[in-house]
Amino acid sequence: MNYLQASSHPQITQLVPANGSFREVPLPAKVPSHYPILISVTGYLHFAAIHDIEKRLTALSEIDRPIIILRMRATSLLGSTAISFLEAMLKLIQEHNGALILCGVEPGVAKTLDRSGLLDKLGHENLFYASDMLLESTREALERAREIQRQMEGVDEEAEEETEPDRAV
């Protein structure tokens, strides 16, 4: 197997919180609305890999109010195709009133996100840098996702209150 074939299929899995750590499981086809999902992508995000990732993640970003955490710990470079993909994914998620959070981001990748303008669209509060503390940025990103989820649930409660008819006594 040559390098391009081996690297064109990055590993994409879901990380599920379990007993203070994370369990790695296959990526589901569907997730509930406004439920944080932590996705780990391992491998170089170049043109040959993007098609596979796009195919697997687009369905998740089309649910109502998706909260997607993309763990990019093993990603040291982003090509223009990856930037275009992330930009399109962010747009799709935002069109569905959701949020995209990136964690495990290396400084070089963050520079690329900044130079491309994608970091401003994403929001600095939704980017968590890789550190020497194992899974620290992943835990921080998950807490940010839960904060967003609580905000979304608050919106649901307000909407329900507004639709309840006034009752005359």
Q: How far apart are CA 152 and CA 143, in angstroms?
A: 14
Is residue 168 one of the residues assigned to a domain?
A: no
Range of the domain at 133: 3-159
Please report how many Cα atoms fall inside a 13 Å half-sphere around the Cα of residue 33, on the Cβ side: 7
Handedness of CA 155, 157, 162, 163 (dihedral sign): positive
Is residue 166 one of the residues assigned to a domain?
A: no
85-131 residue pLDDT tens? 899 899 989 999 999 999 999 999 999 999 999 999 999 999 999 99
Q: Taking 70 as the threshold, does the pLDDT of residue 49 lie above it?
A: no
Residue 160: its pLDDT value, please? 54
Is residue 135 one of the residues assigned to a domain?
A: yes
CATH number at residue 110: 3.30.750.24
Is residue 40 one of the residues assigned to a domain?
A: yes
Average pLDDT rounded to a whole number, residues 46-61:
70
Residue type at position 50: I
